[in-house]
Amino acid sequence: MFREIGIATTHCNFCGTWGIVALLRTTERDGLRIIEACETCWRATGNAANLLRLVRLGKSPKAKATPKKPRKPRTGQPERVAPYQGPSKHEVGSLVPLAEQHQP
Ligand SMILES: [Zn+2]
């Protein structure tokens, strides 16, 4: 992976244009390499990354299941919850804590 990012003035590795470039330096473990590219070409690599992301999401079954997620929250044990037995909700302010229910 890359471990460093910097700025230099040299030829772009992609299009060969001379000028200010941003450079990425790889870790030495992976074999030291420096990739230098101009702004236009780095933006193009961003588009390429987005394309790969689309392909990945299109292939992933988990990603396809994502739109199904917004369902009803947990259905676990709704029966255990006792029905409300306090005074009418119209008589109690909304900021009054339900202290009795929190005591052991
Ligand atoms: Zn370039």
Q: With 90 as the cut, is the pLDDT of residue 40 above it?
A: yes
Confidence of residue 77 (pLDDT cuts 50, 70, 90): low
Q: How far is CA 33 from CA 29, 63, 91, in A?
A: 10, 34, 72
| Position 94, amino acid | S
pTM: 0.51
User: Do 13 and 36 meet the contact criterion of CB atoms below 8 Å apart?
Assistant: yes
User: Do 46 and 37 meet the contact criterion of CB atoms below 8 Å apart?
Assistant: no
Q: With 80 as the cut, is the pLDDT of residue 72 above it?
A: no
Whole-number mean pLDDT of the chain?
Answer: 79
Q: Which residues pair with 4 in a beta bridge?
A: 25
Q: With 90 as the cut, is the pLDDT of residue 91 above it?
A: no
Identify residues whose C-beta is under 5 A from ligand 1, the ion: 12, 14-15, 38, 41
DSSP annotation of 91 reads T
Determine the distance from the C-alpha atom of residue 23 to the mean position of all C-alpha atoms in its chain, rounded to a whole number: 25
Instruction: Compute, in angstroms, the gap from residue 17 CA to the centroid of ligand 1.
Output: 6
Phi first, then psi: what are they for 3, rounded to 5°?
-120, -5
